[in-house]
Chain A
Amino acid sequence: MNVGKMKLNFQQANNRFEILSKNGFALNNLKEEDESVLSEKIRQIFSDLKSKERFGYSFDERLSCKFHSLLKNNDWMKPYLESSYDFWRYFALNIMPREIYERFKGKDNEEGETKESIKSHFFSKPVRIYPFDLYWYYEIMNCGDEEKTLEFMNNDAFSSDTIVALVERTGPLSFRKDLFHEIAVKVADPSLKEKIKNKFGNRKDNFLRTVMVENSLKFLIYQPDLYDGGVEGYVSDLIRNVLGD
């Protein structure tokens, strides 16, 4: 895989998007054979999942696991690519444009996302590029292997908003995977269900969002590694503050 060429800057991505959108996001023959093979594998994973799941969180979590495993097991998937927006733009617009369009266009009988919003899943908002989100959601939720991770992701404390909160709203402080993972673990703790319901009612997504905001403030003042109880103690206190214990 010639990853050095798999890059699109914003302008190049915009041009590519316009061409694809006129074409119904159909993928013409790719120049590179290994890109075609990768694209076909993603197509198959996507189609298999689509036959079993409706588009939504459950679909995304499953795709996230398969997608991450497909990419991570390659020598060419170097760490620096994981956060290269140029790479993910290329990936979205050259390897899996049909799938992204299908995922966000909406069904025939319902209104899908606007063109501008769809653009964000391809290139215009870096942290919203669909393959980027799928990849990083797994990185944060990773419990060691695909099976355990999927089981963890499958917790009913999580939803599409979890992906947004953990991957898209990392803020200017950047993030630490271990800290965000610990936040996800604590948010999914079944013993907190009642308290979360009492405080947030049916808007359980607001709980994680509030914890993330609280973390952004606390992180300015504390060094989580040194906190009483380490990262776990730090996150427990975040949760306690939010739930008002």
Chain B
Amino acid sequence: MSNFDFGYRTLNDELKKKLFSSTKAPSLDTYFNEDGKNVTLENSFPDDPINISDKNSDWSPLTKGLNTKLKLSLNNLDLLWDAQEGVAYTDSKLGISFTWVSRNAKQRGKASIMEIKSSMEMQNFEFPTQFPPFVFNKEIDFSLDIVLLDKGTPNREFGINNNQGVILGNLLNYRILLSGNGSEFPCVYINEPQKPLWSLKLGFEDVQDQFGYDTVCLCINKGNNDYKYLDKGSSSFDSRLKSEIMAEAISNFVIAVEEDALGESIENPPEGSVLGVERYMVKVHQLDVKRKETILPSIIQSFEKERGIAK
């Protein structure tokens, strides 16, 4: 909003700085719900865009959904009503509107509104959202704006927009990237006693097929006795096992794609394709695909480096 002259007072950078002065930096909680429990997801807030990751690599916005909670503290909110630099008449009612839009999904959420008080004291706000499974992928944009909830009594000649619902300035924008960078496998849980603990299903017919649940999927078997080592709620949980499974799955995937793509010289594989993701993994884990026997050890080493335990 600050780049555009609306012809009335809006939240300018100077006033915004005062609202955020001496406050805790905004923070974002990201999590999903599994079996009635909230499982925390790591995120890179305030990066733009924000990436979300799951240490155990089994989260996907499509199958697990995503819950977020933005925490925000603001100071000096009385200045919004100030006669000299404020954006509203003294007896008007102001609020923060929290909206999201998923442009690729052609959806825009209804605004959730928090009223703000005219006070010098710090005020804390929390804005939660819940996106159920199979609703969104790709990205969602969030926006927090100061809005006029109720008109005030005009006591100045000009410069104030006193129309109910008007957006008087932007406090914060952020974008969450839901599809990630392709470094994780789609993962499903099955319950088949007597079957192996995990398996990798490769269903692509062409390496240029879209990477997704039907082309590449890691199946974790809750029915296997060893599942307790993967169950975060169990006392036997061993994070190394999950990491080893993931390393082996990536290794099998890379080898399968390399074999399938043999002889094809595709310089720029389509974005989001099986080959595109494989190339990404080769790059990230610095794999020498011509020496198959080195692929798995290289991935394990790469994981250890990430966890800070590599030699």
Which A residues are within 8 Å of any B CB, using their own CB? 2-5, 7, 9, 11-12, 78-80, 82-83, 86, 136, 170, 172-176, 178, 220-228, 234
Which residues of B1-26 have CB atoms within 8 Å of chain A's CB atoms?
Answer: 6
User: Are B110 and A225 within 8 A (Cβ)?
Assistant: yes
Docked complex Cα distance between A79 and B106 (Å) = 11
* CB neighbours of A224 from chain B (8 A): 165
Residue of A nearest to B106 (CB): A83
B213 within 8 A of A: yes
- Given A172-B103, A223-B147, A226-B165: A79 and B134 within 8 A (CB)? yes
Dominant secondary structure at the B interface: loop
User: Are B107 and A83 within 8 A (Cβ)?
Assistant: yes
CB distance from B294 to the nearest CB of A (A): 32
Docked complex Cα distance between A108 and B163 (Å) = 57
Told that A4-B215, A174-B108 touch, could you supply 5 new A-B pairs with CB distance under 8 A? A5-B203, A7-B209, A7-B210, A78-B135, A226-B111
Docked complex Cα distance between A180 and B292 (Å) = 56
Docked complex Cα distance between A137 and B277 (Å) = 35
User: Are B167 and A4 within 8 A (Cβ)?
Assistant: no
Docked complex Cα distance between A224 and B108 (Å) = 12
10 A-B residue pairs with Cβ-Cβ distance under 8 Å, sorted by A, are A4-B212, A7-B210, A9-B272, A79-B105, A174-B102, A176-B108, A220-B167, A222-B165, A226-B97, A226-B165
CB distance from B271 to the nearest CB of A (A): 8
Docked complex Cα distance between A82 and B136 (Å) = 10
User: Are A175 and B145 within 8 A (Cβ)?
Assistant: no
Docked complex Cα distance between A9 and B274 (Å) = 13
**A-B pairs, 4 with minimum CB distance:** A4-B214, A227-B165, A226-B165, A78-B134
User: Are A223 and B106 within 8 A (Cβ)?
Assistant: no
* CB neighbours of A2 from chain B (8 A): 214
Docked complex Cα distance between A56 and B209 (Å) = 36
* CB neighbours of A12 from chain B (8 A): 208, 270
User: Are A86 and B106 within 8 A (Cβ)?
Assistant: no
User: Are B214 and A221 within 8 A (Cβ)?
Assistant: no
Docked complex Cα distance between A2 and B97 (Å) = 40
Contact residue among A9, A11, A226 (Cβ-Cβ distance under 8 Å from B210) = A9
User: Are B105 and A221 within 8 A (Cβ)?
Assistant: no
CB distance from B255 to the nearest CB of A (A): 22
* CB neighbours of A226 from chain B (8 A): 95, 97, 111, 113, 147-149, 164-165
User: Are A228 and B108 within 8 A (Cβ)?
Assistant: no
* CB neighbours of B108 from chain A (8 A): 173-176
User: Are B165 and A9 within 8 A (Cβ)?
Assistant: no
Contact residue among B107, B145, B166 (Cβ-Cβ distance under 8 Å from A174) = B107
User: Are B165 and A80 within 8 A (Cβ)?
Assistant: no
User: Are A221 and B106 within 8 A (Cβ)?
Assistant: no
Docked complex Cα distance between A225 and B108 (Å) = 12
Docked complex Cα distance between A224 and B164 (Å) = 10
User: Are B110 and A80 within 8 A (Cβ)?
Assistant: no
- Given A5-B214, A175-B106: A222 and B163 within 8 A (CB)? yes
Docked complex Cα distance between A28 and B223 (Å) = 42
Cβ proximity bits B48-86 to A, threshold 8 Å, 1 near / 0 not = 000000000000001000000000000000000000000
B101 within 8 A of A: yes
CB distance from A169 to the nearest CB of B (A): 12
Contact residue among B134, B163, B203 (Cβ-Cβ distance under 8 Å from A80) = B134
Residue of A nearest to B105 (CB): A83
Docked complex Cα distance between A156 and B149 (Å) = 38
User: Are A174 and B103 within 8 A (Cβ)?
Assistant: yes
Residue of A nearest to B271 (CB): A9
User: Are B103 and A221 within 8 A (Cβ)?
Assistant: no
CB distance from A2 to the nearest CB of B (A): 6
CB distance from B161 to the nearest CB of A (A): 8
User: Are B101 and A223 within 8 A (Cβ)?
Assistant: no
Docked complex Cα distance between A227 and B113 (Å) = 13
Residue of B nearest to A8 (CB): B210
User: Are B136 and A80 within 8 A (Cβ)?
Assistant: yes
Docked complex Cα distance between A176 and B108 (Å) = 5
Residue of A nearest to B214 (CB): A4
User: Are B97 and A223 within 8 A (Cβ)?
Assistant: yes
User: Are A228 and B135 within 8 A (Cβ)?
Assistant: no
